[in-house]
Amino acid sequence: MKQFISVNDVADIRALVDQALLYKAQPFLDRQLGADKRIGLLFLNPSLRTRLSTQVAASNLGMEAVVFNVDKEGWALEFEEGAIMSGNTVEHIKDAAPILGQYFDILCIRTFPSLKNRDDDYSEMYISQFIKYAGVPVVSLESATLHPLQSLTDLVTITEYRKEQKHTHKPKIVLTWAPHVKPLPQCVANSFSQWINAWGEADFVITHPADYELAEQFTKGATITHNQEEALKEADFVYVKNWSTYNDYGKIYENDPSWMLTEEKLKESNQARVMHCLPVRRNVELSDEILDGPNSLVTRQAGNRVWAAQAVLSAMLKHR
């Protein structure tokens, strides 16, 4: 694997999921693979799970990980081609990225969207510039539109749970919009949709209020409905996530609390297991009763972040 920006970089999704589960069983299986290799983790935005799980994954492979909070500790980066840098930005990505490429064997980057200019965000300007100028493999730790390490983790968690339960039927997976107090990126929802569609082994339903349509490039193939109650019927897995509007970009139109998932709403599901990428706003996005109850997979999901990251880093190290 030369880069990990979306599901399109993955030749065999099932093999990557199996590799992650193998690492969960045997964390130090490939202890020597990353010996004398260094990975740089650059954060332009906050993180708990992505930052720590990727560090642990790198360590399990014998790599040295260096974390750099660019937003707090680095020079303000300029990404615009031909910019006259008389404002607040101090260093152009053209100058910074090739240097980072000399320091690290693999470069990982987290950037969020502005949620102001859809064309800029959906052009993935930031991560594309790192790829263009760094000269080493780049891993997305969440970009403007996608969060592939999260989605791989989600698929690992679904696969693991189904194996444990010896489920053989085609699962019904529902992605449901949830209320939130501020506008959030569409990344997790886009990415989850893209991965579940590419995986192709589920009946996939997306439910959200009117006007919260996601970009069709990611959702195509899914059934989309504004009727949450109908969507949840017979569901095996329910993925809960807020996102801001895509069409009238980056807005909150409504925060109808009735969209929050509760135990009551799951009564007609197939004893659905509930997923969320975290962090979660309790009793806004998801009720305490679900998060603290037996049907929640969220802690397992977050734990599986290590194995998903380890499978991706391993595939990159083997490619070199």
Question: Which residue, 15 or 48, is less far from ligand CP as judged by CB?
Answer: 48
244-279 in b/e burial notation, b at 16+ Cβ within 10 A?
bbbeebbebeeeeeebbbeeebbeebbebbbbbbee
Q: Are 226 and 206 in contact (CB under 8 A)?
A: no
Examine residue 47 and tell whether it contacts ligand CP (CB under 6 A). Answer: yes
Q: Which of 266, 277, 309, 316 binds ligand CP (CB under 6 A)?
A: 277
- Side chain identity at residue 25, one-letter code: A
Cα Dmax for the chain: 62
Task: Compute the Cα dihedral for 285, 288, 290, 291 and give only its sign.
Answer: positive
- Find tokens 């053989």 and name the residue: 168
Token pair listed for 189: 């929802």
Cβ closest to ligand CP, residue 53 vs residue 159: 53
**By rule CB under 6 A, what count of residues binds ligand CP?**
9
Q: Does 49 bind ligand CP (CB under 6 A)?
A: yes
Between 74 and 303, name the residue whose CB sits nearer to ligand CP.
303
Q: Interface with ligand CP includes 50 (CB under 6 A)? A: yes
Q: Cβ closer to ligand CP: 48 or 90?
A: 48
Residue 150 binds to ligand CP (criterion: CB under 6 A): yes
**CB-based closest residue to ligand CP:** 50
Interaction of residue 145 with ligand CP, rule CB under 6 A: no
Of 44-52, 58-66, 251-259, 292-300, the window that binds ligand CP (rule: CB under 6 A) is: 44-52
Beta bridge partners of 280: none
* Of 130, 127, 163, 171, residue with least CA distance to 147: 127
**CA angle centred on 275, ends 270 and 280, rounded to 5°:** 140
Q: Which residue, 48 or 99, has its beta carbon nearer to ligand CP?
A: 48
Which residues lie near ligand CP (CB under 6 A)?
47-51, 142, 150, 277-278
